[in-house]
Amino acid sequence: AQSVTQLDSQVPVFEEAPVELRCNYSSSVSVYLFWYVQYPNQGLQLLLKYLSGSTLVESINGFEAEFNKSQTSFHLRKPSVHISDTAEYFCAVRGVGDDKIIFGKGTRLHILP
Amino acid sequence: DAGVIQSPRHEVTEMGQEVTLRCKPISGHDYLFWYRQTMMRGLELLIYFNNNVPIDDSGMPEDRFSAKMPNASFSTLKIQPSEPRDSAVYFCASSKQGPNTEAFFGQGTRLTVV
């Protein structure tokens, strides 16, 4: 079985500052990893995903995440945040050979002016 | 495609009443997931289907909860009888076959049981 831990429930950061949202996972099999974003009163949208190959994956809006197998981590980073990045971010894992998608509890990103 | 469609968007009901949440997945998707989101527990997987067949319902909290998928384009999540602690946002998501594909989410149903 897989599990996901997002250590920070909330992260405040000033506009144009860098941010890192942490995600650690546990699994006995190889995994696929995802970051989703949820804007207020909306469903979850895929931000980026790691399937295989390069351990660094990027989204179209400047976010990136790096898969670190030895540390079982998939932290999300952005070098300079914008007010529009205010949202809740969820890390998710799907095990190879397992169909379930398990989510972390989410990290709420607060952008301070 | 219009994406995953859930109805209703909001539901307010009295304790003890039956509640039915509905979901239409994206056409051609083989998997359908039901999640519940609360502040305390985050996003919990309740049940998922593959080709209309329930595969894992271990996340369903109690016998009061049941889910069906009579065909590839429709699923329901029913709570009978409802209780105040069932108040949450319920999401439906669908994905294609294969573990390396992401899930697409509906807008959710906000359920309030008073």
With contacts defined as CB-CB under 8 Å, which chain A residues touch B107? 42-43
- What pLDDT, on a 0 to 100 scale, did the predictor assign at position A76? 97
Question: Where on the phi/psi map is residue A53: left (φ > 0), alpha (ψ -120 to 50), or beta?
Answer: left
Q: Hey, what are A46's tokens?
A: 């895929």
pLDDT higher than 70, residue A103: yes
pLDDT higher than 80, residue A97: no
User: Residue B100: which of A32, A42, A104 has the nearest Cβ?
Assistant: A32
- What pLDDT, on a 0 to 100 scale, did the predictor assign at position A55? 87
Closest CA to A40 of B103, B110, B22: B110
**Is B41 close to A105, i.e. CB distance below 8 A?**
yes
User: Residue B42: which of A32, A100, A104 has the nearest Cβ?
Assistant: A104
**Is B43 close to A105, i.e. CB distance below 8 A?**
yes
Q: How many CA atoms lie within 13 A of A47 on its CB side?
A: 27
CA of B31 vs chain A CAs: smallest distance (Å): 9
Task: Give the pLDDT confidence of B85-99 residue by residue, as tens digits.
Answer: 999 999 999 999 876
- What pLDDT, on a 0 to 100 scale, did the predictor assign at position B98? 72
With contacts defined as CB-CB under 8 Å, which chain B residues touch A90? 43
Average pLDDT of chain A is: 92
- What pLDDT, on a 0 to 100 scale, did the predictor assign at position A54? 84
With contacts defined as CB-CB under 8 Å, which chain A residues touch B36? none
Task: Give the pLDDT confidence of B65-79 residue by residue, as tens digits.
Answer: 999 999 999 999 999
Beta strand B10-13 pairing with B5-7: unpaired
Beta strand A73-78 pairing with A64-68: antiparallel
Q: E strands within B51-103?
A: 53-56, 65-71, 74-79, 88-95
**Is B42 close to A42, i.e. CB distance below 8 A?**
no
- What pLDDT, on a 0 to 100 scale, did the predictor assign at position B99? 62
- What pLDDT, on a 0 to 100 scale, did the predictor assign at position A73? 95
User: What is the residue type of A107?
Assistant: T
A96 touches chain B (CB under 8 A): yes
- What pLDDT, on a 0 to 100 scale, did the predictor assign at position B1? 67
C-alpha B104/C-alpha B35 separation (Å) is 12
pLDDT higher than 90, residue B38: yes
CA of A41 vs chain B CAs: smallest distance (Å): 8
- What pLDDT, on a 0 to 100 scale, did the predictor assign at position B74? 97
- What percentage of chain A exceeds 70 in pLDDT? 100
Classify residue B18 as exposed, middle or buried by CB count within 10 Å of its CB (0-12, 13-18, 19+): exposed
A9 touches chain B (CB under 8 A): no
What's the DSSP call for residue B25? P
Q: Hey, what are B74's tokens?
A: 């429709």
Task: Give the pLDDT confidence of A9-23 residue by residue, as tens digits.
Answer: 999 999 999 999 999
C-alpha B110/C-alpha B105 separation (Å) is 14
User: Residue A94: which of B35, B99, B107 has the nearest Cβ?
Assistant: B99
Q: How confident is the model over A66-92, as a mean pLDDT?
A: 95
CA of B14 vs chain A CAs: smallest distance (Å): 23
Helix (H, G, I), strand (E, B) or coil at A83: helix
**Is B106 close to A42, i.e. CB distance below 8 A?**
no
Task: Give the pLDDT confidence of A28-65 residue by residue, as tens digits.
Answer: 888 899 999 999 888 999 999 998 888 888 898 899 99
